[in-house]
Amino acid sequence: MPRVFSGIQPTGEPHIGNYFGAMQNYVKLGNLYGKNSIYCVVDLHALTSPTSFDRELLAQRTFDMALANFAIGLDPQKVTFFVQSHVPEHQELSWIFTNITPVGDLERMTQYKDKTEKLESIPAGLLMYPVLMAADILLYKADTVPVGEDQTQHIELTREIARKFNHAFGETFPEPKAEYNRQALRIPGVDGNGKMGKSKGESSTIGLLEPLDSIWQKLRVAPTDPARVRRTDPGDPDKCLIGDYHKLFSDLPTIELVYQGCRTAGIGCVDCKKLLLQSMTEHLTPIQERAQELRGDPDFVRDALSQGAREARAIAAPIMEEVRTKVGFLKL
Ligand code: SF4
């Protein structure tokens, strides 16, 4: 059975892009592979972003990310779900990998170049980010990593690190492969300004747990197909982000109504947006209610994370012991 590993950035409240692009896939893989689906809220990685140097904010965001995943139906009894800093072996393996990874390879990473382009002083953690990521994956001998295509280079480096370690110290790690979620759509931002993303600010995102009246305020002013200048002008839902959202949230009869109504100018954009809000309400309300319940029972989340860390360490400890032996650390 494949062993799946995925790291989840503790960005606080996830948005619907995260939900359709990754979180739903976690539930699906969890149903297929059970405890061999290993998911980790990567709070150590978050430290590479200067905005994470806020003790309470980092802890709160880590907690909220776990809560949101449980609220959408990820069952911590079924999968292995934990927080990265609760399993110190990640850092130990990362240090060993740091010593077999050329600085030049790390400097060539596109994400590193993008993130450091405007920085006057570059934290070493940004350079080492992909090494820690390789340790996250290989610590569990995971062979399958569900990621976005922007992570291709990092997975290739992970494979390279596995090869180097195996060559230097004997066959130990598998070479993991990236699994791209072909269903994952590039969810457009609600401001019509490219892909939905936290880095683009609140105006671009629709939070999974955002109050529905706040969602409506964003939908109300969202751009539509520019061809529909007047109410009587026909449009094309395939050129409209509201049309894209309908494809994610609405049932088939509503989608057919929108396509037909838009192309014949039979419905106006406000009515179309109201239909969307209705579909979103039906989809998001049970998730938001479950999140509310979990907020009232924080011990559920904390207990699940403690249990998850124990399960993760039970897998990681013997692998780390094998690594220590192969590297040649003194045993007492
Ligand atoms: S009717 Fe709907 S899909 Fe068509 S342009 Fe207006 S908002 Fe977009």
* pLDDT given at position 55: 79
Asked if the model's pLDDT at residue 196 lies above 90, the reply is no
Average pLDDT over residues 81-103: 98
- Ligand 1 mean position, distance from CA 323 (Å): 57
Q: What is the pLDDT of residue 41?
A: 97
Q: Is 3 exposed, middle or buried (0-12, 13-18, 19+ CB in 10 A)?
A: buried
Binding residues for L-tryptophan: 136
The letter for the amino acid at 75 is D
Candidate list 115, 164, 200, 239, residue with the active-site label: 115
Contact 222 CB / ligand 1 (< 6 Å): no
- Which residues fall in the annotated binding site? 9-11, 17-18, 136, 148-150, 187, 195-199
Does 137 sit in the ligand 1 pocket, CB within 6 Å? no
Least confidently predicted of 143-157, 162-176, 180-194: 180-194
- pLDDT-wise least confident of 19-23, 76-80, 86-90, 162-166: 19-23
187 lines ligand 1 (CB under 6 A): no
Is 164 noted as a catalytic residue in this protein? no
Maximum CA extent, the chain: 82
Nearest-atom number in ligand 1 for the CA of 227 is: 5
Instruction: Please work out whether the CB of residue 242 comes within 6 Å of at least one atom of ligand 1.
Output: yes
Question: Would you place residue 178 in the very low, low, confident or very high pLDDT band (cuts 50, 70, 90)?
Answer: very high
pLDDT of 257 strictly over 70 = yes
pLDDT score of 199 more than 80: no
Which tokens is 286 given?
């049970």
Taken in order of first residue, the domains within the chain and their CATH numbers are 4-187+298-327 (3.40.50.620), 210-291 (1.10.240.10)
Q: Where are the alpha helices (DSSP H) in the chain?
A: 16-18, 24-33, 43-46, 55-71, 89-98, 103-107, 110-116, 124-138, 152-169, 212-220, 241-249, 252-263, 269-295, 298-327
Q: Where are the alpha helices (DSSP H) in 221-268?
A: 241-249, 252-263
Model pLDDT, residue 239: 96
Indicate if ligand 1 lies below 6 Å from the C-beta of 176: no
Query: Using an 8 Å Cβ cutoff, are 265 and 231 in contact?
Result: yes
- What is the reported pLDDT for 159? 98
Look at ligand 1, atom 7, and give the residue with the nearest C-alpha. Answer: 269
Residue 183 confidence (pLDDT) above 60: no
Phi-psi region of 34 (alpha: psi -120 to 50; beta: other; left: phi over 0): left
Is 195 marked active-site? yes
pLDDT band at 200; cut points 50, 70, 90: low
Distance 225 CA to ligand 1 centre (A): 6
Question: Is residue 52 pLDDT above 70, yes or no?
Answer: no
Q: Which amino acid residue places its CA nearest to atom 6 of ligand 1?
A: 269
**Active site (annotated) includes residue 198:** yes
Average pLDDT over residues 183-202: 77
258 lines ligand 1 (CB under 6 A): yes
